[in-house]
Structure 1
Amino acid sequence: MTAIIVDDENRHHETLGKMLKTFCPNIEVLGDAYSVAEAVDLIEKHAPQLVFLDIEMPGGNGFSLFEYFDEPPFEVVFTTAHDLYAINAIKYAALDYLMKPINIKELQEAVSRAEKIISKKNGDISNQKIDVLKSNLKLEDKRFTKIALPSSDGIDFIEADFIIRAEAERSYSNFYLRDGKKVLVSKPLKEYESLLEQCNFFRIHKSHMINLNHIEKYVKGKGGYVIMNDGSHVDVSVRKKEDLLNRLM
């Protein structure tokens, strides 16, 4: 599998290059770029299958690379040190990223996932992920609205406010939508908690997160329960009751 590394710091090129050579010998690094402009030239020259893309770079961050490709002909693994906003944007789009300093096991897992996508030629899904990323990054208030939910037969790209509630089911999650459909996601609910909280969701129980925009009624009780506008009843845990009522007030 061919790749390029895009990063403005030479030490990161050297470190990642050595890690790939030692721990991911199936990767052939075709070249190094130190800016988005150089990356565009390398991609057009070598057509790599995978791009390791730093986010924070002078002259435009890594996201600006996608302004040059309507349908990127490569998979991407982002690399970043600490940019929470960027990480959230990547998570909402279900794209892959590595935190610096890069962990060997996480690098191998990211490469393996990219290899599977490339071997299955799932370019359409990859492009949809990039579209979600670009759509969210255009929002001036930086409040992301669209989220990618990977299921057994692909990925659903859904507006967060179209989700009424989410329910944990062991290592899976069920997302209940306004049109009555349910999406079973192959990740635990805790993976989505911080993302959903930014979209006015609230965890009212260890097994449930609800969209506060879709509450019809709160019914009193020890913990009580809420009635959602799809008619579903969801229990409120005793320890979450006060926080929920404060939010509703």
Structure 2
Amino acid sequence: METEGTIKAIIVDDEARHHETLGKMLGNFCPEIEILGNAQNVSEAVSLIMDKSPQIIFLDIEMPGGNGFTLFDHFEEPPFEVIFTTAHDLYAINAIKYAALDYLMKPINIRELQDAVARAAKVINKKGVTVSSEKINVLKSNLKLEDQRFTKIALPSSDGIDFIEAEAIIRAEAERSYSNFYLQSGKKILVSKPLKEYEALLEQCNFFRVHKSHMINLTHLEKYVKGKGGYVIMKDGSHVDVSVRKKDDLLNRLM
């Protein structure tokens, strides 16, 4: 499906001023977006989606009567792309990141808005309009975790998205603007994002950045070998250098 230059969208937010602000920003800086309407809660959003068939939903997370995530309870395979908007809620943001979904922090930055719209447009033009059910399932399962320790992470590659248990990842290696993820199974996944995009998420899953180009899963660490910086040996037999400036932090973490 091609979008023929215009992408239909709706804004879901309980505050009218946010409808107006975001609408003006889209009109001025994302002219390819056509706003079909606004909704103030999930119930109104569902009706608007069924009536207008938008291709992108700008979805606020926190709203009276339930958060924006409940929108997905109404669609088995959501027929739209979604860009979340939020003023806070770090936990929700991390859940969104782990599911490889897009979000914007309020107040919304123009450049970040343009980038998010461009990413959504690329998906729409490539394969039609749908948020994969796998992404939504990962998001839902993460949001149910009371200890906020997410178990699955979405890794976008050239042929799709792999949803991997974090504990199955032995290490991650930076490769310019890409990243290589090495799994327990012996599989390697080349991800089309830099490693810094995953650093904060992986740190919550017992990963440690031992070098500017490497993060290791401490669960799979077999041995630290002394040296100026030294190196570590992982369970898969791989050797990973430890930078001098990271050495003390690593040893303190291991003690």
- The TM tier, using the shorter chain, reads over 0.9
The superposition leaves residues 34-58 of structure 1 with CA deviations (integer Å, 9 ceiling, x where unpaired) of 1111111211222211100001111
Assess if the C-alpha contact under 8 Å between 2:61 and 2:69 holds in 1: yes
Structure 2 residue 136 is the aligned partner of structure 1 residue 120:
no
Residue of structure 1 equivalent to 2:40? 34
Q: Could you list the structure 1 runs, at least 4 aligned residues long, displaced by more than 3 angstroms after superposition.
A: 122-125
Question: Displacement, 1:114?
Answer: 1.2
Question: Displacement, 1:25?
Answer: 2.2
Which runs of structure 2 are paired with 1:92-111 in the superposition (5 Å)?
Answer: 92-111=98-117
Q: Which amino acid aligns with 2:233?
A: I
Assess if the C-alpha contact under 8 Å between 2:55 and 2:129 holds in 1: no
Q: Which amino acid aligns with 2:223?
A: K
Residue of structure 2 equivalent to 1:140? 146
The superposition leaves residues 50-94 of structure 1 with CA deviations (integer Å, 9 ceiling, x where unpaired) of 100001111111111112212111110011112211111111111
Q: Given the two structures, how large is their TM-score scaled by the length of structure 1?
A: 0.95
> Is the alpha carbon distance of 1:124 and 1:80 closer, same or farther for their aligned partners in structure 2, counting shifts above 3 Å?
closer
Query: Which of 1 and 2 has higher RCO (CA within 8 Å, sep 6+)?
Result: 2
Q: Partner of 2:134: helix, strand, or coil?
A: helix
Question: Displacement, 1:26?
Answer: 2.1
Q: Partner of 1:41: helix, strand, or coil?
A: helix
Question: Displacement, 1:222?
Answer: 2.2
Residue of structure 2 equivalent to 1:3? 9
Equivalents in 2 of 1:122, 1:150: separation in Å?
18
Structure 2 residue 79 is the aligned partner of structure 1 residue 76:
no
Note the residue ranges of structure 1 that are not aligned, 5 or more in a row.
Answer: none
Structure 2 residue 70 is the aligned partner of structure 1 residue 64:
yes
Identity of aligned residues (%): 81
Question: Which among 175, 181, 201 is matched to residue 181 of structure 2?
Answer: 175
Equivalents in 1 of 2:15, 2:165: separation in Å?
37
Question: Displacement, 1:125?
Answer: 6.3
Q: Which amino acid aligns with 1:65?
A: L
Q: Partner of 2:148: helix, strand, or coil?
A: coil
Q: Which amino acid aligns with 2:166?
A: A
Q: Which amino acid aligns with 1:168?
A: A
Structure 2 residue 168 is the aligned partner of structure 1 residue 162:
yes
Q: Which amino acid aligns with 2:103?
A: Y
> Is the alpha carbon distance of 1:125 and 1:13 closer, same or farther for their aligned partners in structure 2, counting shifts above 3 Å?
closer
What is the number of equivalent residue pairs in this alignment? Answer: 249
Structure 2 residue 251 is the aligned partner of structure 1 residue 245:
yes
Residue of structure 1 equivalent to 2:49? 43
Q: Which amino acid aligns with 1:98?
A: L
Question: Displacement, 1:123?
Answer: 5.5
Q: Partner of 1:128: helix, strand, or coil?
A: helix
Structure 2 residue 219 is the aligned partner of structure 1 residue 198:
no
> Is the alpha carbon distance of 1:112 and 1:184 closer, same or farther for their aligned partners in structure 2, counting shifts above 3 Å?
same
Assess if the C-alpha contact under 8 Å between 1:125 and 1:155 holds in 2: no
Assess if the C-alpha contact under 8 Å between 2:171 and 2:182 holds in 1: yes
Question: Which among 224, 228, 240 is matched to residue 234 of structure 2?
Answer: 228
Q: Partner of 2:136: helix, strand, or coil?
A: helix
Question: Which among 156, 168, 178 is matched to residue 150 of structure 1?
Answer: 156
Q: Which amino acid aligns with 1:19?
A: M
Equivalents in 1 of 2:227, 2:28: separation in Å?
60
The superposition leaves residues 129-157 of structure 1 with CA deviations (integer Å, 9 ceiling, x where unpaired) of 22211121121211111111112222211
Note the residue ranges of structure 2 that are not aligned, 5 or more in a row.
Answer: 1-6
Q: Partner of 1:17: helix, strand, or coil?
A: helix
Residue of structure 1 equivalent to 2:3? none
Q: Which amino acid aligns with 2:44?
A: E
C-alpha RMSD over aligned residues:
1.5
Residue of structure 1 equivalent to 2:4? none
Residue of structure 2 equivalent to 1:55? 61
Residue of structure 2 equivalent to 1:207? 213
Q: Which amino acid aligns with 1:130?
A: I
Equivalents in 1 of 2:16, 2:148: separation in Å?
31
